[in-house]
Amino acid sequence: MTRSISELVRKFGDPQRVLLPLPSVEFPPLSERRHGEVCMAILRRSGGFLLQTKKNYPNSVMRLPSGGIKAGEDIEHALMREIWEETNLDVHVERFLAVLGYRDERDQTPFLTYLFVLREIGGELRSNDPTEKITDWVEAPPRELLDYATALKRMDSSWSNWGLFRAASLDVLAAYCNDNGD
């Protein structure tokens, strides 16, 4: 497994760096985790990207799967662990697409999202971790990614910061797909 960002860049490409302004960074997971997360843009054999919803999300809103990086865990290990926990799929890492950071008018949080594009090569879709509380999956064609991002951006006020935060990775992925003719 890789131990540094430079090793990830060497293996999977130089990621885009994004700093997303938010009304506030005082919401979970930004306010609770210091080690960031991995975000998984898994391209299924159907040509769609895997999106999920969880029991506690309002209106069954869909987003890219993601998972926290544990203290002392390297990013690539966290990526592979989270893929197994949430999807049980075998994947090939195609691209280290982006590192997303977040700030509000007062501060920038140390929390980062490491977004990877992955291609499914096998396995059976299921959650291996019941604490994830995943209730549904969809396979979104690249042309529909911005529609899902828009739904996240329009979440009601108690979820609005979270929705903007989750929409950012879909926006980056949609732009990547558009630039690459997907």
Summarize pLDDT for 76-104 with one digit per residue, the tens. 999 999 999 999 999 999 999 999 999 99
The string of DSSP letters for the chain reads ---SHHHHHHHH-PPEEEEEE-S---STTTTT-SS-EEEEEEE-TTS-EEEEEETTSGGG--B--EEEPPTT--HHHHHHHHHHHHT-EEEEEEEEEEEEEEE-SS-EEEEEEEEEEEEEEEE----S-GGG-EEEEEEE-GGGHHHHHHHHHT--GGGHHHHHHHHHHHHHHHHHHHHTT-
Residue appearing with tokens 């064609």: 141
CATH of the domain at 70: 3.90.79.10
Mean per-residue pLDDT of the chain: 93
Nearest CA to 33 out of 109, 104, 85, 98 is that of 109
Note down the domain range covering 79: 5-179
Summarize pLDDT for 31-55 with one digit per residue, the tens. 887 789 999 999 999 999 999 999 9
Position 156 pLDDT exceeds 80: yes
Question: What pLDDT score does 161 carry?
Answer: 93
Count CB neighbours of 115 within 10 A. 27
Total count of domains within the chain: 1
Average pLDDT over residues 127-135: 91
